[in-house]
Amino acid sequence: MFYLSSNLFENFSNCWSGYIPKRIIIIFLCTSALIVSYADRSNMAIAIVYMTKEFNWNHTIQGYVTSSFFFGYITTQIIGGALTDKFGGRKVLSIAAATWTLFTLLTPISGRINIYCLILCRICLGVGEGATYPCVSSLISKWFPPEEQSRAISAVQVSLAGKVFFGYLQLLVLFGPLFGIFYGRSVPKEYPGISKEELEWILKNKSAVCSEENFGNYQSGSREHMIIDDGNRVSKGENDMLLPKNQISSRPHYVHKIPWKLLFSRREVWAILLCDFFCSWGYFILLNWLPIFYYEYLNVDIRLIGIYTALPYLSCTIMGSIVGYICDYAIYQLKFHVLTVRKSAIIIASLGISIHLLLVTYLAKTSLEGLLMMTIGFALYSFKVSSYLVSHLDIAPKYAGVICGIRNTFGMVPALFGIALTGWILEVTANDWSIIWCICSLFYIIGAAIYLAWAGGEVIID
């Protein structure tokens, strides 16, 4: 986690002297929360292979079981983000973690009762997990200066692959919520023992991002800059669009009123929402159906399915961590425009995963060839962590939690219908996986095209 600082030597010096930067603790807590939540939701993708053999489920029933989680997950996205921006991430995340922990422990019991209890338990698990990522996104917007936000987002995003270590993380399922309550804080000023230097670094650089020196990197072609000041909407011209210095650090920590109408009126926000909608189709199909694809299409030994499923996500973890470095370096050292970096990242991600899904469909002859192509595709797909997944921090950092919640809600729609629809398509086409991966590839390309057309790279709502 030391890479999150702009000065690596300074972090080592601080730790050697006994001081650990508090934002490292915060990102560790956020990452741990996401690892556990993803492990709790995605373990069903592996377990259902065995449950199908035991209970003789067809593809349609498999689709119902795996998609049921998302009917609960979608219900708490927006409200979770709004509550986080209003009351702080620590309280909301702790409640959410306690909820999903309870229903994770109840899942094996419900599965033995009947399928209806299992589906209900998965829905309740989704309700608990729905607020998780909006909480984390809001915490990052408050704890990390712009120079470190791509790396912070990449750290929590690639934690998806932490399900590789699920067996080791069972203790975190029980103690993670309590650990967050005692050691986490919603904003830097609330953290006891935070050094003056670290606090100044976080707050000073948040205001400096819109200074005259750095503003050239944040132009998206828009000639308006929308400011929310004491509830009033003000439109500023290109010459007076800069925020006053130190303005961010002098404002209240939490928002009192969310400008819903303004949020939904901006194309930059819709670029994020629609990109996530289309990209989430392939994401959730892979998350829930990849183990079954290995088992049925590539004839992978059932004992090796866990390893085959984990390796692509491991490549995504490793590459994703590097991607955050690359993008922050390109913006703040090489002085590339933010929008140039974000658009380049989505192109690499969407083309990378789409091409390799098609290669697996039409060229892979053995399970090892399929695994290699999937692993490369996932590694390239990790570039998404520095594209639309961080854009809400570029355009509206103050409302990062609620925008993230809205984005995830849009992204849940494909999960609600796409996962179950995949089971139905496989049922009526006699397991024609080429249709599934072609649809996913098409949606990845559509999502990227929308983002390229509408995305923004400057603060438009504050």
Task: Name the token pair of 73.
Answer: 């997950």
Judge contact between 277 and 414, C-beta under 8 A: yes
CA torsion through residues 2, 28, 269, 279, sign: positive
User: Helix or strand or coil: residue 234?
Assistant: strand
pLDDT at 268: 94
Q: Tell me how far apart the alpha carbons of residues 411 and 394 are, in angstroms, rounded to a whole number.
A: 20
pLDDT at 256: 61
* Gyration radius (Cα) of the chain, Å: 22
Q: Tell me how far apart the alpha carbons of residues 381 and 280 are, in angstroms, rounded to a whole number.
A: 12
Task: Name the token pair of 359.
Answer: 């290669």
User: Helix or strand or coil: residue 225?
Assistant: strand
Judge contact between 323 and 383, C-beta under 8 A: yes
Q: Tell me how far apart the alpha carbons of residues 453 and 342 are, in angstroms, rounded to a whole number.
A: 12
**What is the b/e burial string over 395-431, where b = at least 16 CB atoms within 10 angstroms of the residue's CB?**
bbbbbbbbbbbbbbbbbbebbbebbbbbbebbeeeee
Q: Does domain 2-194+257-454 have CATH number 1.10.357.10?
A: no
Judge contact between 66 and 44, C-beta under 8 A: yes
pLDDT at 442: 96
**421: nearest Cα among 72, 48, 62, 125:** 62
Strand segments, DSSP code E, in 113-229 are: 225-229
Number of Cβ within a 10 Å radius of residue 94: 20
Q: Tell me how far apart the alpha carbons of residues 182 and 188 are, in angstroms, rounded to a whole number.
A: 15
Task: Name the token pair of 368.
Answer: 């090892």
- Taking only the tens of pLDDT, the chain with its 462 residues reads 434 444 433 444 454 456 777 777 777 777 777 777 777 777 777 778 788 877 888 878 887 888 888 888 888 888 888 888 777 777 788 888 888 888 888 888 887 888 899 899 999 999 988 888 888 887 887 878 777 777 777 777 666 554 444 444 444 444 455 445 445 566 677 666 677 777 777 676 554 444 434 434 434 434 344 444 444 444 443 333 333 434 334 344 455 678 888 989 999 999 999 999 999 999 889 988 898 899 889 888 888 887 888 889 888 888 887 888 888 889 888 999 999 999 999 999 999 999 999 999 899 889 999 999 999 999 999 999 889 988 888 898 888 778 888 888 888 888 778 888 898 899 899 889 999 999 999 999 999 999 999 998 888 877
DSSP string, 321-344: HHHHHHHHHHHHTS---HHHHHHH
pLDDT at 185: 64
**423: nearest Cα among 413, 411, 438, 436:** 436
What are φ and ψ of residue 374, in 5° steps?
A: -65, -40
User: If phi over 0 gives left and psi between -120 and 50 gives alpha, with beta otherwise, what is residue 56?
Assistant: left
pLDDT at 105: 84
Q: Tell me how far apart the alpha carbons of residues 186 and 166 are, in angstroms, rounded to a whole number.
A: 27
- Helices and strands in the chain: count of H runs, count of E runs: 19, 2
Domain ranges of the chain: 2-194+257-454
User: Helix or strand or coil: residue 233?
Assistant: strand
Judge contact between 139 and 47, C-beta under 8 A: no
Judge contact between 447 and 275, C-beta under 8 A: yes
Judge contact between 39 and 169, C-beta under 8 A: yes
Q: What is the 3-state secondary structure (H, E, C) of 1-46?
A: CHHHCCCHHHHHHHHHCCCCCHHHHHHHHHHHHHHHHHHHHHHHHH
Alpha helices in 259-390 (DSSP H): 260-265, 267-296, 305-332, 338-362, 367-381
Judge contact between 439 and 418, C-beta under 8 A: no
Query: Whole-prediction pTM value?
Result: 0.67
What are φ and ψ of residue 375, in 5° steps?
A: -65, -45
Task: Name the token pair of 36.
Answer: 């556990």
